[in-house]
Amino acid sequence: MIIFGLAVFFFGSVEQGVFHCPNCGGDREYKRKIGRRWFTLFFVPVIPLNKVAEVVQCGTCNTRYQPSVLSVPTTGQLAAAVPAAVAAAASLVLRAAAPSMAARARAIEAVRLAGSANYGDPELDAELAQPPAAVLQRLAEAGGPLAPEARERILAEATRVGLADGPLTAEERQALGAVGPALSLTAAQFYGTVSMVEQSAPHS
């Protein structure tokens, strides 16, 4: 008796990388695979037919997901996003006026505390040399995946940079006014964060 039929099989991989596996609860290696319908003979795939599915398979637990799972940031990506966002926000405030040594030092300290231990004057100068529109775009991209509390802390650090050499100037407030929307903060979150930092400043 000849047994034949149709079945879907996933062979090989078209992409590999690291993703956040919901089942494992952490960063894991993955393989992106294409599923095709095959004509089978005695349950053995013989002739490949049309493409029917695309999945992302965890290399640890072997759970398969829709490709959209790759849009969730990994732990590593989140860790890199915070110092990148702090650096961008701080540079926007610094360029609002002639930055003092105190403000530059506070900006560098803020980025280091955020997780970029080797950040220094050369990196800050490179940040300041970028067009403001490009910096705002990078700020939005880095801050987008972060929780609201983390985005508020980034705004708070940028505010402290502006306060490092005295009360905020009109130009610094204007720069902070651009940082808030780039971080998708509401008006209440923005004014609440800036006011709280101002009130706690030594010269307030």
Q: Give the per-residue pLDDT at 11.
A: 59
Residue 130 shares a structural domain with residue 67: no
What distances in angstroms separate CA 190 from CA 20, 81, 86, 159, one per listed residue? 30, 20, 15, 11
Q: What φ, ψ does residue 61 adopt, rounded to 5°? A: -100, -5
Give every residue of the chain whose pLDDT is below 50, as ranges. Answer: none
Has residue 204 been placed in a domain? no
Q: Give the per-residue pLDDT at 82.
A: 93
Q: Which of 71, 103, 124 is a domain's end point?
A: 71
Q: Give the per-residue pLDDT at 7.
A: 59
Residue 111 shares a structural domain with residue 195: yes
Domain range for 86: 75-199
The structure's pTM equals 0.72
Tokens standing for residue 144: 């987008």
Q: Give the per-residue pLDDT at 15.
A: 85
Q: Give the per-residue pLDDT at 145.
A: 84
Tokens standing for residue 102: 């105190």
Q: Give the per-residue pLDDT at 173.
A: 95
Residue 67 shares a structural domain with residue 128: no
Q: Give the per-residue pLDDT at 140.
A: 94
